[in-house]
A and B are shown apart, each in its own frame.
Chain A
Amino acid sequence: MTDKSNPGASDFVRIKSGIPGLDQMMEGGFPFPSTILVAGSAGTGKTTFALQFLMQGARDGEQGLYFTTLSEPTQWMMRFASRLEFINKDYLGKEVKYVELGNFLRDEKDPRKVIDFMEEHITEVMPQRIVIDPITVIEELIGGNYRTFLYELATRLKNWQAVSVLTGEVLPEQPYPVQVSYITDTVILLSYGLSPEGGRRKYLEILKMRGTGHTTGRHLFDVSRNGVSVQAGLR
């Protein structure tokens, strides 16, 4: 196979997001490697998104690593996650490994040491998929060093040769965590809107995606025990 006619062109390797309806909005999946910010206010489905992403990887033979920054034990989180139909418990602890970053962050404020801690785990596991959930909590925990942390993270993320999903918590009136968006290749926004009947609807929007033609605008999505699914084309 040759491409002498268009020698400058190349395509990304893409991996499946695991979110029904999303891959067709972005040329078939996330570029490998790349970094993705999934931002939204409370309850919009960010953690569910991240878990689906990792479970897809596990099904595809990829190793996943989940850093949780909240100070809650893994079993507490899994108590709720285990109710989700797409969770395959056989993968937990093997193809999908958990690291409780929150406890480490309580004692350690030096951003480089935080990233070194993360990198130790990444080097050991050599994951193809990484989740940091949520990254915005780190700002509260390490205070004035957050900018340094993000700068350092940006550099190291590119070297980890994985697709990294960072979830970002925002208040309803905030669009997305701007500082984090600078260091990511893709920004996906999850938001609420009102339906004509007065109820709440959820919307997904791909705001930015480097090197990829993507569908724009807000699209309805649903979160259920089957996970997140996007109804691309429905606005």
Chain B
Amino acid sequence: MRRLLNAQTVVMKLRQSLPQLKEARKVLVTAPPTLINHVSLYLVCAPIHPGAGRVLFLSVDRPNQSLARLFDRHCAGGPQVLFANPGMDPPQSSDVSCVSGLFAPKLIVDALGQLAETPEVRPSMVVGNVSALGFYNSNDRVKEFLRKIDDKLREGAISKAVLVSDRTQGYILSLAREFAEKEVDLSG
């Protein structure tokens, strides 16, 4: 009998997967589209990030104002969160820096470029919902975006990358799978 998927069951699965999530440098987490926000929020706040636990959260399809409310409500007592828009304030050395927008390839270059100026930061990165990149970016551009994340990992600008995706965009999902060392499937 198929188990009912809801916020509680995916969080439980995430908790069970914490060792895997902690160990791998490049992780893909696939989740039902109705629960992507729950999963992304959990992963940003979870104790899976190396070093000082700093996180750069690239929110593809949810703006900062909406994210701020979620963090205020659900992560009280947790990480300090800072919101940045590319071209405005650069992400600071805070616990979580949030950058949002659909044109991710440009965002990632801007955000990581600014981070590179403060090399002691070395945050990990969470990107969600990766499949939403397909709304405004060609497949080639998404491929290029993932390659840039790989480059940043190699250079040491980021210490870990966690991609969160639903399964609606088959080609983007396949690219994300090629990228990841480990996949945690919460889709049921």
Interface positions of A (Cβ within 8 A of B): 1-4, 7-8, 10-13, 15, 32, 60-63, 119, 123-124, 126, 128, 156, 159-161
Contact = CB atoms under 8 A, between A and B. Distances in A.
B66 A160 contact: yes
A128 B34 contact: yes
Interface in B24-82: 33-38, 61-63, 65-66, 69-70, 72-74
Prevailing SS type, chain B contact patch = helix
Nearest to B138: A7
B168 A159 contact: no
B133 to A, nearest CB: 11
6 contacts: A10-B168, A13-B33, A32-B34, A126-B37, A159-B62, A159-B63
Contacts of A63: 6-7
B159 to A, nearest CB: 29
Contacts of B17: none
Chain B, interface residues (CB within 8 Å), range: 20 to 34
Interface stretch (B86-94, B146-154, B169-177): B169-177
B173 A161 contact: no
B171 A4 contact: yes
Interface in B1-28: 4-7, 9
A62 B170 contact: no
A202 to B, nearest CB: 30
Interface in B150-172: 166, 168-171
Contacts of A4: 139, 171
Interface in B109-134: 134
A4, A11, A159: most-surrounded residue (chain B CB, <10 A): A159
Contacts of A159: 62-63, 65-66
B66 A61 contact: no
Contact of A15 (B34, B74, B171): B34
Nearest to B174: A2
Contacts of A32: 33-34
A7 B6 CA distance: 31
Nearest to A1: B170
B179 to A, nearest CB: 15
A94 to B, nearest CB: 11
A7 B170 CA distance: 10
Contact of A10 (B35, B63, B169): B169
A13 B69 contact: no
B174 A1 contact: yes
A19 B100 CA distance: 36
Given A128-B34, A159-B65, A123 B70 contact: yes
Contacts of B170: 1-3
A188 B35 CA distance: 26
A126 B70 CA distance: 9
A2 B171 CA distance: 4
A171 B105 CA distance: 50
A161 to B, nearest CB: 5
Contact of B139 (A7, A15, A62, A123): A7
Nearest to B41: A126
Nearest to B68: A123
Nearest to B140: A7
Nearest to B10: A61
B37 A161 contact: yes
